């Protein structure tokens, strides 16, 4: 369950806490049992007042907004429901993390937008593809009929631009052409492959640090697509570090961790791969932060705006999601993929 649940004695002592609540508080059920649950709220009086109402049968259910304190973490805002339990003298407390709900809504919105963009791009690319072939062919025929070789310069411009647009269309259609080839994937082999490719491309001024959790198990996935997805994200980070590379202090960190009790696409997963690509660049411009995964959106001169779009598509094929948290000096792309 993604819902946080506690069963309390009428005096507020914890009788039961589910796994989701244990995970948020960072405490085991055995540690929580018998403890006054109100102490985990930033304003304990809110729960204490609700428990007094439950004891005196003033209501069937009471709802309020509160905030749960967490060990070594910031407090998490929650929507709280307090109601009498089936057994006399017991109170059921249900808590919905508001940030989790907002995150789920954002994920759902991103998935819907990605699907709409894919359909639009696929249809648009097919509509562009056929006229392009005709334009290129007509330019070639025209070039053969020209009396003056000097005029061939103009037909070559037409052919070159048609080829450039054809290349763009092929890249737009690439994710829909390749079948999903599933096999056993070791995420650290994927990381090392990408690391070597990017360092070969940027041999001077760039450091790529490894921070791996080697206990992460293999999982079923398309290795080639995951390499391409991670390569696009890391290359995007490297391109943003051009100025720091010139200074010789550009750094990208590849960090792998296991995340527990993660909700992706409104489905709860016990375990998930959490792969971070962290760079010390200038950060994503605020105007682009909500649109960086949209196709043809780029914050770099000459950028195609397809790298992150394709990365998101490939990760979504693995039932995962890419998120971005960016401030000047630190940008963190977080790739989440469910684990078995």
Q: What residues pair up with 321 in beta bridges, in sequence order? A: 336
Helix (H) or strand (E) holding 250: strand 250-264
The DSSP letter of residue 328 is T
Strand runs (DSSP E) across 42-199, as ranges? 61-70, 73-84, 90-97, 183-185
- Percent of the chain at pLDDT > 70 equals 83
Closest Cα partner for 329 from 255, 246, 247, 240?
Answer: 240
Give yes or no for a contact between 238 and 201, defined as CB atoms under 8 angstroms apart.
yes
Would you say residue 301 has pLDDT above 80? no
Q: How far apart are CA 40 and CA 99, in angstroms?
A: 17
pLDDT, position 283: 87
Closest Cα partner for 57 from 85, 96, 17, 15?
Answer: 85
pLDDT, position 177: 59
- Which pLDDT tens digit goes with each residue over 122-163? 677 767 777 888 888 888 888 888 888 788 888 888 888 888
Would you say residue 219 has pLDDT above 90? yes
- Which pLDDT tens digit goes with each residue over 261-291? 777 766 778 889 999 999 999 888 877 777 7
Pairing mode of beta strands 321-327, 330-338: antiparallel
pTM for this prediction: 0.59
Mean pLDDT of 203-227: 91
């Amino acid at each position: 369950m993604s819902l946080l649940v506690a069963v309390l004695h009428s005096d507020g002592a914890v009788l039961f806490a589910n796994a989701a609540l244990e995970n948020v508080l960072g405490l085991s059920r055995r540690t929580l049992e018998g403890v006054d649950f109100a102490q985990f709220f930033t304003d304990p009086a809110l729960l204490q007042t609700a428990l007094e109402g439950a004891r005196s049968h003033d209501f069937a259910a009471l709802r309020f907004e509160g905030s749960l304190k967490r060990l070594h973490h910031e407090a998490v805002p929650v929507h709280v429901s307090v109601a009498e339990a089936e057994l006399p003298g017991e109170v059921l407390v249900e808590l919905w993390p508001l940030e989790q709900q907002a995150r789920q809504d954002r994920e759902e919105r991103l998935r819907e937008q990605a699907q709409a963009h894919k359909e639009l791009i696929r249809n648009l690319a097919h509509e562009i593809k056929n006229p392009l072939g005709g334009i290129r062919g007509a330019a070639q025929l025209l070039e053969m009929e020209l009396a003056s070789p000097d005029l061939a310069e103009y037909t070559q411009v037409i052919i070159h631009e048609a080829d450039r647009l054809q290349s763009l269309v092929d890249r737009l259609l690439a994710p829909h052409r390749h079948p999903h080839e599933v096999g056993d994937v070791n995420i650290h082999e994927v990381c090392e492959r990408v690391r070597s490719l990017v360092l070969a491309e940027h041999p001077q001024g760039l450091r790529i640090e490894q921070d791996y959790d080697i206990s992460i198990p293999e999982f079923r996935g398309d290795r080639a697509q995951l390499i391409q997805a991670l390569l696009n994200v890391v290359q995007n980070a490297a391109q943003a570090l051009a100025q720091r590379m010139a200074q010789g202090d550009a750094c990208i960190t590849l960090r792998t961790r296991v995340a527990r009790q993660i909700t992706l696409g409104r489905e709860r997963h016990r375990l998930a791969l959490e792969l971070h690509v962290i760079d010390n660049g200038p950060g994503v411009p605020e105007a682009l932060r909500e649109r960086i995964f949209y196709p043809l959106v780029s914050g770099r001169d000459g950028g195609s705006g397809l790298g992150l779009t394709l990365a998101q598509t490939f990760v979504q094929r693995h039932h995962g999601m890419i998120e971005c948290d960016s401030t000047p000096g630190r940008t963190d792309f977080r790739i989440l993929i469910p684990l078995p």
